[in-house]
Chain A
Amino acid sequence: MSKILDRIPSLPVADSVESVMDWLTGNLSSLFSFIQSGGKNAMNLITDMLVAIPPVVFILVIALIAFIATKKKLGLAIFSIVGLLFIYNQGLWEQLMNTITLVIFSSIIAIIIGIPVGILMSKSAVAENVIKPILDFMQTMPGFVYLIPAVAFFGIGVVPGVFASVIFALPPTVRFTNLGIRQVPKELVEAADSYGSTGWQKLFKVELPLAKSTIMAGINQTVLLSLSMVVIASMIGAPGLGREVLSALQRAQVGNGFVAGLSLVIFAIIVDRLTQSFNKKK
């Protein structure tokens, strides 16, 4: 039996993917290098700006936002102050700023792409049937795999890191937007229709406001996923806390690895609680 199976020639899947990639890098290289340089400049600018803010001011502002966002509870504010001071104390402040830039960029891009795709998905059964398996594919494919085309398109550095993060972090926003809109009670959709709303009016006046909290839950997931890509993205040269983790791994420095890892966890908790409390606000 196995001989028969062996006689089937191996399908050239890997070769085909590679030739597609070659074609893309060959023909769109000017576009990619434009994005690469533009993106890099923009992100460096943001990082420089973040670094230029005195750490004390930065920490106090975050604590104040936390205080207001959690409806004047002290918990998250105190945690933010202590956690961020710890990161500063360990000499990881600039790396933290790099990480923040990466997370902000990849989240915003993922949201800008994700919400319209989610809306499209909620409106069309065809779109849903096409997009759903793509999302499954995107989420189950190991995050490392995205690094390969990212490098092929954009070389190494922060831009391919964002590219890989966006692909990895996009699905929750799309899924939750779709879900949120589909969960709007049928009677309210009928009410909107029966008063003669156009499709856009229905979307902006009824569906998106009602789906808002579900969409926000998706955005929260997207932000956290892009944060989780920070370490992986550092493998292709994206700066940030991930790079500290990676170098500790390469040199087998348990202590440094722990400190950098802990800093990431602290930052993740602050981001998660903040985005969640924005959602709860109303």
Chain B
Amino acid sequence: MTKIKVENVTKIFGKHINSALKLVEQKKNKTEILKQTGATIGVNDASFSVNEGEIFVIMGLSGSGKSTLVRLLNHLIEPTSGSIYIDGENISKMNKQQLRTIRREKMSMVFQNFGLFPQRTVLANTEYGLEVRGIPKEERTKKAEQALENAGLLPYKDQFPSQLSGGMQQRVGLARALANDPDILLMDEAFSALDPLIRKDMQDELLDLQQKVRKTIIFITHDLNEALRIGDRIALMKDGKIIQIGTGEEILTNPANDYVKTFLEDVDRSKVLTVENAMIRPISVNVEMDGPKVALKRMRDEEVSVLLAVDKRREFKGYITADDALEASKRGEKDVNGILKADMPVVPPDMLIQDVLGVISESPTPLAVVNENKLVGVLIRGVVIQSLASNTEEVTRDE
């Protein structure tokens, strides 16, 4: 179900907005418009929709308009043109009162520098959203304490934000947002001010949380690794324009243009590529039909020293080596069951390469990629390393 729908939204800052808007309609880019009119394009004709319960990441470098875009969603900044629908309602047409109700009940925001009020305690900060809604003191304290409890921060409720570490402050920021129980969370570079280890913890926490509460989350970041890690879908922005929307894998494997490609070069690929991306076609032997001679011939033809063994239904059974096959052939055995070995590690296709690296470096054999008992591929050390180093198109994908 569509939760948020953004249609042709443009935001122009500065003077000569009308003439700049005409140039936007003529598909002129940010630099041209700035040169001709002096107006700055914040967001240039953006359209997308976000599904309920989805983590939608908007990413781009600084100045790409991503922070402006998220502020358009709750009308902290008013769009110059275009419409924004929340649950099918056009918020651009709402009056102040209606807009306040939406902000109070439907969406909460988490800020890059936490946005905590320094003169309020952690508890009073967490209560803020409930307080402005006019919820009685007792009830809002209860809700805020619950939110802090969930974040593991209840013992700190009487402290002031300045007494907490950055990571804890942002947990308070998140607790404040969740205390409101909104449908939508807007997170503007929420983890960017944190150091890398804390940032990773926070990402994990967010993902855990999302498992439990299923909010619609709009997450702004400039960090592609973060985007790929937490985003169900990612929108890439440049100069106010959305240049590609897709899942992390779609963007990685099929970058829309050179800009996206350059962007991707920074990515630590092991964190996003899965086994599926790096596995190659298995060369197999059918234990129910093939004997040692067939196996040996196939090894010679394919120039390999190991064959993976499957049955008729392609269920994974183990592997045989060239040496064993030669011995068996000399002994005159008719099938390969006698020389079948089972000590090959098995991995599922959706496992991250990052998590496989340890297994693969210790295993003497390649890894079998098995999905629902069926052999789907094989993971060979050389290919894995190559895929981590290579450009996206060169990743071997044999199905």
Contact = CB atoms under 8 A, between A and B. Distances in A.
A198 interface: yes
Given A209-B119, A210-B118, A194 B103 contact: yes
> Chain A interface mostly helix, strand, loop or mixed?
helix
A56 interface: no
Contacts of A210: 117-119
A191 B111 contact: yes
Interface string B116-128: 1111000000001
Interface in A167-216: 185, 187-188, 190-198, 201, 205-206, 209-210
Contacts of A198: 100, 132
B117 A188 contact: yes
Chain B interface extent, by class: 20 to 34
A8 to B, nearest CB: 40
B103 A195 contact: yes
Contacts of B119: 209-210
A213 to B, nearest CB: 10
A15 to B, nearest CB: 44
Interface string B77-111: 00000000000000000000000111111011101
Contact of A196 (B104, B111, B118): B104
Interface in B289-322: none
B131 interface: yes
A190 B109 contact: yes
Contact of A187 (B102, B108, B115): B115
Contacts of A187: 111-113, 115
B76 A195 contact: no
A210 B132 CA distance: 17
Nearest to B74: A194
B22 interface: no
Contacts of B132: 195-198, 201, 205
Contacts of A194: 74, 76, 103, 107-109, 186
Contacts of A193: 76, 103
Nearest to A195: B129
A195 B117 contact: no
A20 B35 CA distance: 53
Contacts of B107: 194
Interface in B52-71: 71
25 contacts: A185-B113, A187-B112, A187-B113, A187-B115, A190-B76, A191-B109, A193-B76, A193-B103, A194-B76, A194-B107, A194-B109, A195-B103, A195-B104, A195-B109, A195-B128, A195-B129, A195-B180, A196-B102, A196-B132, A196-B133, A201-B132, A205-B117, A205-B128, A206-B117, A210-B118
Interface of A: 185, 187-188, 190-198, 201, 205-206, 209-210
Which are the 5 A-B pairs with shortest beta-carbon distances?
A196-B104, A191-B115, A196-B103, A194-B109, A195-B129
